[in-house]
Structure 1
Amino acid sequence: MKFIRDLKEGDRISDIYLCKHKQAAVTKNGKSYENVILQDKTGVIDAKVWEPGNPGIGNYDTLDYIDVCGDVNSFQGSLQVSIKRIRVCREGEYNPADYLPVSAKDNDKMYAELLDMVDSIRNPWLKQLLESFFLADDEFVRKFRHSSAAKTVHHGFVGGLLEHTLSVAKLCGYYCGAYPILNRDLLLTAAMCHDIGKVKEISPFPENDYTDDGQLLGHIVMGSQMVAEKAAAIHGFPHGLLAQVQHCILAHHGKYEYGSPKLPALMEALALNYADDTDAKLETFKEILENNSGNQGWLGYNRLFESNLRATRE
């Protein structure tokens, strides 16, 4: 099997992939086509069926395992497959484990690092709050350790939420050393909790798509609610301290246009915003480079970065 991570422009593929998404569309000229997202354990790739009425395109749907024949092209800096033939596979023709993208980092080691951070918190209220999530709530822990951090943009793999959270918390730990004025306990607590709402916003794999609550409320609001619910179960939890944690969560996207209900008003909220944005952007760039591993030069224009990206030459 040729994994998505290893595809390069000019390849012709004839292999089995998970159809993560399928959507009918129409070109500006009124011609029907289909948008498809193919997935395996190494990632996802955009694909197009330009001739959906072609006899070689069998009936298929989202979450089907499909045998695909097509050509790999480059479009706006990203690889894209032009699909010529599709056949739905029968059970036994594929190993489902090959089709779930998984973090390259060890899940147990990452979680142990996160628990070490929890243990380092000195404020008793914040430590209790973190323990109520990451030690006492088995269902939450299971979801948190296996959720993605996003549908497609960054950390869109099993363990992605844990990997992203740990990276953000480590960056915040560095900030605390560089700027001792920061309240370390507050910032690290907010960092570890900033994306907990994603366990409710995004459905489990292999679907890994937005839930109804995710569409209606979003992970920022739900994460703030989850923290409030846990704090309410801790007798005497200081209201002002809870409000500060919630503010950091509500402001961690930094701007209204990026989905933040609040703009950062605390130094800790600002630090969290920059740590979150740094990890998300660098991981996104890393995934773009990995998906274009055969190209050591210019990769084309990328809408997210609003720039023509380039791979560094050694």
Structure 2
Amino acid sequence: MAIDLNKLKDGDRVNCRLMVFKKEKRLDKNGKPFGDLILGNKTGSIQAKLWDLDDAAYNLFGVESVVEVSGITGSFAGRPQIKINTINPVDESQVDFGEFLPVTSKDIGELQAELLTLIDSLQNVSIKQLISHIFDSQLIFESFLKAPAAKAFHHAYLGGLLEHTVSVAKLSDSVANNYPGDVNRDLVVAGALLHDIGKIKEFSYLKSIGYSTEGRLIGHHVIGYEMLRQAASELADIPDEVTLQLSHLILSHHGSYELQSPRRPKTLEALLLHFCDDADAKINMFLQADENADEDAEWSQYIRPLERFMYLKKLDGFEDAALLPE
């Protein structure tokens, strides 16, 4: 069983296999070289320092290598880190990389069924035909079930893209139904199903979760836009307006240029999708912080994307005497 890196405390001894996420040689204040590493497994990642640097041993492993590590846990600037005593590479033939990649805690089969139900619920013939055509591709569908939704921060685990997409689509459906006659429900749900589809190519996730070259150079907005346009060109009878508005949903879902959105939302459906996408991502960050906290903790660790600590104490089980009937 993988060691839970989120539960390590000062003084804990570590003797386990971890993956190298980052490797850098640096100099301490006396000019002596040391190894600055980030190591991890499916539970998360942790900083590690190799103070007694042996160049020959250090050069035997690289990023995405699995290493056998022994050391002791300390902390620096309020963050845990491992002081490494020994570190040795593990032969790749002896490694199951699935042990080092985090995976959604949700049931993939149930999420897949929900995805297919959402597609089947679409009433607009052209929209449903286009969405079905995209997900009917075995390569796209299999990648979609496995891909992460991010490298870090939210849904950053295998199956994260599927989990996030289904959640955003369900949120969009609920909100759209609150504005009957004003919001095109099928359009916004279809946009939710497609908004992050470019992430199947934006990320690499065979050994570790990282950005592909295409992801770094182009990004999932444009990749998804191109996938949609390609699918529409393969179908003869998709109205241009359908393709146009779905394209806008993909290109504007981050909401602002500051958040790397190629376009800002300029339709009601695009605005709704942006809010649902943003809400689900932030809620997931909170839930992950709650899950990684100690059982009796009142506050989470600092959540950098949200720029705050989160209060974790639940109201469940408390009774407000002022609300009780006399």
Q: Same fold (TM over 0.5)?
A: yes
- Residue 46 of structure 2 corresponds to which residue in structure 1? 46
- Residue 148 of structure 1 corresponds to which residue in structure 2? 148
Deviation track 1:45-95 (CA, whole Å, cap 9, x = no partner) reads 131325161699653211221112234456677654443431212457654
Say whether the 8 Å CA contact 1:57–1:87 is kept in structure 2.
Answer: yes
Partners of 1:26 and 1:260 in 2: CA distance? 38
The percentage of aligned residue pairs carrying the same residue is: 34
- Residue 296 of structure 1 corresponds to which residue in structure 2? 297
Partners of 2:30 and 2:190 in 1: CA distance? 52
- Residue 236 of structure 1 corresponds to which residue in structure 2? 237
Amino acid across the alignment from 1:168: V
Deviation track 1:125-181 (CA, whole Å, cap 9, x = no partner) reads 1101111121x2001111111111111222121111111111111111111222222
Partners of 1:286 and 1:31 in 2: CA distance? 41
User: What TM-score, normalized to structure 2?
Assistant: 0.86
Amino acid across the alignment from 1:288: A
Say whether the 8 Å CA contact 2:201–2:220 is kept in structure 1.
Answer: yes
Deviation, 1:31, is: 6.2
Deviation, 1:298, is: 3.2
Query: Bigger radius of gyration, 1 or 2?
Result: 2
Say whether the 8 Å CA contact 1:76–1:301 is kept in structure 2.
Answer: no
Partners of 2:291 and 2:299 in 1: CA distance? 14
The 1:226–1:52 alpha-carbon spacing in structure 2 relative to 1, beyond 3 Å, is farther
Say whether the 8 Å CA contact 2:34–2:53 is kept in structure 1.
Answer: no
Q: Please list every run of at least 4 consecutive aligned residues from structure 1 whose deviation after the TM superposition is greater than 6 angstroms.
A: 27-31
What SS does the aligned partner of 1:248 have?
helix
What SS does the aligned partner of 1:261 have?
coil
The CA RMSD over aligned residues, in Å, is 2.6
Amino acid across the alignment from 1:212: T
- Residue 61 of structure 2 corresponds to which residue in structure 1? 60
Amino acid across the alignment from 1:175: V
Higher relative contact order by CA 8 Å / sep ≥ 6: 1 or 2? 1
User: What TM-score, normalized to structure 1?
Assistant: 0.89
Amino acid across the alignment from 1:14: N
- Residue 215 of structure 1 corresponds to which residue in structure 2? 216
Partners of 2:95 and 2:230 in 1: CA distance? 43
Deviation, 1:29, is: 8.1
5+ residue gaps in structure 2?
Answer: 316-326
Deviation, 1:261, is: 0.8
Partners of 1:19 and 1:288 in 2: CA distance? 23
What SS does the aligned partner of 2:211 have?
coil
5+ residue gaps in structure 1?
Answer: none
Where do 1:112-127 residues align within 5 Å?
112-127=113-128
Say whether the 8 Å CA contact 2:303–2:309 is kept in structure 1.
Answer: yes
Partners of 1:131 and 1:227 in 2: CA distance? 12
Say whether the 8 Å CA contact 2:74–2:83 is kept in structure 1.
Answer: yes
2:101 equivalent to 1:138: no
